[in-house]
């Protein structure tokens, strides 16, 4: 295991460490960086495999969609469709502790794993100087959940990140303790109605002032957001899903896993020919979408082992297979 690169907060060497973090992102590795709210565990949001590493590192048994962090409005608008109200909020509060959940643009390059297969995307422009340098230097969106393992509180210092996620990150940019110490406030829209999806570092009243109307409350108690499942429900293909399939029928598509694949003349994709669960997670949502668009009656899915990221993959497949 290579050693982790980091800096002393406030030291001149921070720029060199930011440069290393940009290189690490570009080569598909994970980095930790401060934002004004909490530390983020970042990956290139356009790289499926890099995003899969985030879920592997967090050790969460399910895939929650992640926030894409950007340095400027032109990138934000390349990823998400901004309504007039969304523009108002971005103009007033970005950069800052506000996350907007908006429809993905048709040309959005963010990994479908990062958005958990949804047609919406969470976008945020952080205010922290280190985060700004990192994001503008990288030039692409960075997917970053709070830098903690599942079930632990969000990290507000580099030392927290190191003790919690030290194994998984290549670079930790140390910016000292974060200013706000609470995650960003998340706002989404149900048609024209603004929704509060998670309370956080930006007060609800400030948002309502700018919009000139109240936010409908979609939060659950505690800091865990109610999403996904609020705006669009979990991603589910139009075709039915048949799990633990040993072979696919003529009217079905085959979603395979591993080296031994049953013969099939219809549409077929292999999540990971070598049986690698991180690779399978990286391909999961994109492949479900691809097979679904081939207009089959059902997608036959081979058995995925229930270890490591297999747990989260099986969780998603079970939800997508559930009757609706
Ligand atoms: O302050 C923050 O927001 C920190 C820093 C690092 O930016 N990030 C953070 O990320 O708290 P995370 O992944 O721990 O929480 C983001 C939450 C997810 O749990 C998810 O439920 C919600 O945002 N979310 C993301 N995309 C969504 C979508 N398309 N629809 C609904 N909710 C979404
Ligand atoms: Mg979190």
pLDDT tens profile 70-100: 999 999 999 999 999 999 999 999 999 999 9
* pLDDT bracket for residue 5 (50, 70, 90): confident
Whether the pLDDT of residue 163 is over 80: the answer is yes
- Rounded to the nearest angstrom, the distance between the alpha carbon of 238 and the centre of ligand 2 is 30
Tokens of 207: 């948002």
Backbone angles phi, psi at 13, to 5 degrees: -70, 0
- Rounded to the nearest angstrom, the distance between the alpha carbon of 201 and the centre of ligand 2 is 13
SS3 category, 110: coil
Q: What is the pLDDT averaged over residues 115-126?
A: 96
- Rounded to the nearest angstrom, the distance between the alpha carbon of 80 and the centre of ligand 1 is 15
* pLDDT bracket for residue 324 (50, 70, 90): low
Whether the pLDDT of residue 13 is over 80: the answer is yes
The per-residue pLDDT for 223 is: 43
The helix, strand and coil proportions of the chain, stated in percent and rounded to the nearest 5, come to 30, 20, 50
The per-residue pLDDT for 219 is: 85
Whether the pLDDT of residue 297 is over 60: the answer is yes
**Which atom number of ligand 1 is nearest to the Cα of residue 200?**
1
The per-residue pLDDT for 2 is: 62
Stronger pLDDT, 232 or 285, i.e. the higher one: 285
In the chain, % of residues over pLDDT 70: 94
Closest CA to 68 of 177, 172, 184, 150: 184
Q: How far apart are CA 292 and CA 255, in angstroms?
A: 11
* pLDDT bracket for residue 220 (50, 70, 90): low
The per-residue pLDDT for 250 is: 94
* pLDDT bracket for residue 4 (50, 70, 90): confident
The per-residue pLDDT for 314 is: 95
Of 54, 95, 122, best ligand 1 pocket probe by most atoms within 8 Å of the beta carbon: 122
The per-residue pLDDT for 224 is: 46
The per-residue pLDDT for 232 is: 44
Q: Tell the burial category of 281 from Cβ atoms under 10 Å away from its Cβ (0-12, 13-18, 19+).
A: buried
Q: Is the CB of 24 under 6 A from ligand 1?
A: no
User: Per-residue pLDDT tens for 20-47?
Assistant: 999 999 999 999 999 999 999 999 999 9
Closest CA to 99 of 234, 235, 221, 227: 227
User: Per-residue pLDDT tens for 40-72?
Assistant: 999 999 999 999 999 999 998 889 999 999 999
SS3 category, 79: helix
Across 3-17, 70-84, 167-181, least confident range? 3-17
The per-residue pLDDT for 259 is: 97
Average pLDDT, the chain: 93
Rounded to the nearest angstrom, the gap between the alpha carbon of residue 278 and the centroid of all alpha carbons in its chain is 15
The per-residue pLDDT for 27 is: 98
The per-residue pLDDT for 228 is: 42
- Do residues 268 and 274 touch, judged by C-beta distance below 8 A? no
Q: Is the CB of 304 under 6 A from ligand 1?
A: no
The per-residue pLDDT for 221 is: 55
- Do residues 81 and 102 touch, judged by C-beta distance below 8 A? yes
Whether the pLDDT of residue 226 is over 50: the answer is no
Closest residue to atom 3 of ligand 1, CA basis: 184
In the chain, % of residues over pLDDT 90: 85
Q: What is the pLDDT averaged over residues 199-208?
A: 96
Q: How far apart are CA 296 and CA 225, in angstroms?
A: 35
Q: What is the pLDDT averaged over residues 198-221?
A: 92
Tokens of 197: 């999806």
Q: What is the pLDDT averaged over residues 269-283?
A: 98
């Amino acid at each position: 295991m290579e050693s982790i690169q980091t800096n002393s907060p406030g030291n001149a060497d921070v720029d060199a460490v930011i440069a290393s973090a940009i290189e690490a992102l570009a080569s598909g590795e994970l980095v930790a960086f401060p934002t004004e709210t909490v530390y983020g565990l970042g990956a290139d949001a356009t790289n499926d495999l890099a995003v899969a590493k985030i879920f592997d590192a967090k050790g969460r048994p399910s895939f929650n969609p992640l926030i894409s962090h950007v340095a400027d409005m032109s990138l934000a608008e390349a990823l998400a469709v901004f309504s007039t109200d969304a523009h108002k909020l971005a103009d007033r509060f970005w950069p800052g502790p506000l996350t907007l959940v908006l429809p993905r643009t048709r040309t959005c390059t963010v990994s479908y794993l990062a958005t958990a297969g949804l047609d919406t995307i969470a976008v945020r422009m952080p205010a922290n100087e280190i985060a700004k340098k990192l994001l503008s230097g990288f030039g692409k969106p960075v997917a970053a959940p709070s830098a903690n393992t599942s079930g632990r509180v969000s990290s507000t210092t580099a030392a927290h990140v190191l003790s919690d996620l030290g194994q998984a990150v290549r670079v930790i940019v140390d910016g000292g303790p974060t200013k706000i110490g609470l995650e960003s406030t998340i706002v989404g829209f149900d048609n024209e109605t603004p929704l509060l999806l998670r309370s956080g570092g930006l007060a609800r009243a400030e948002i309502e002032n700018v919009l000139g109307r109240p936010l409908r409350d979609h939060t659950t108690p505690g800091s865990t957001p109610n999403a996904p499942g609020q705006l669009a429900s979990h991603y589910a293909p139009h075709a039915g899903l048949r799990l633990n399939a040993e072979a696919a029928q003529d009217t079905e598509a085959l979603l395979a896993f591993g080296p031994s694949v049953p013969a099939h003349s219809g549409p077929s994709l292999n999540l990971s020919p070598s049986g690698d669960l991180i690779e399978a997670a990286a391909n999961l949502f994109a492949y479900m979408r691809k097979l679904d668009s081939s207009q089959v009656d059902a997608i036959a899915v081979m058995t995925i082992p229930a270890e490591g990221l297999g747990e989260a993959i099986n969780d998603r497949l079970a939800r997508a297979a559930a009757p609706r």
